[in-house]
Amino acid sequence: MTRKIWGRAEWFRGQAFFGNGWNRHDLDVLMTFMAEDCVFESTAGPEVCGTRHAGRERVHQAFARVFELFPDARFDNARHFVAGDRGLSEWLFTGTTAEGKKVEVNGCDVFTFEGDKIALKSSYFKTRT
């Protein structure tokens, strides 16, 4: 089996995952990057990994929930690194909850790729006190 290795220049198609997907709150665009059997491990939840959302429907719902919790969510200053079938994105998340609480934190996503799609997106971010 031949595995496609993405270079920095083509990874996330010019950062479309963040710009056209996350920052425009476009779930359809986001899901084009995800594999059929994708998994999203969110930053918080009862499991050691946060909350594990397995399958396209659950991942779609989890991504939608981010936009519900933070209607103005943005991921800026994204930097991407790839090594084989693994990748990392570092970013600055900003958003405001419905209650008016402003959030600004550094975070990252650790990815596992399946071909040219994301099989696993595991998110982490700092907690400010």
**What's the CATH code of the domain at 44?**
3.10.450.50
Whole-prediction pTM value?
A: 0.86
* Residue bearing tokens 């920095």: 8
Residue 99 lies in a domain: yes
Domain of 76 in residue numbering reads as 12-125
Residue 4 lies in a domain: no
pLDDT, position 38: 97
DSSP string, 6-29: --TTTTHHHHHIIIIIITTT-HHH
Residue 29 lies in a domain: yes
Helix (H), strand (E) at residue 56 = helix 56-69
Residue 82 lies in a domain: yes
Rounded to an integer, what distance in angstroms lies between the CA atom of residue 43 and that of residue 125?
Answer: 7
DSSP three-state, residue 68:
helix
Count up the domains in the chain and report the number.
1
pLDDT 10s digits, 88-121: 889 999 999 989 999 999 999 999 998 888 999 9
Residue 21 — very low, low, confident or very high, per pLDDT cuts 50/70/90? confident
Residue 7 lies in a domain: no
pLDDT, position 58: 98
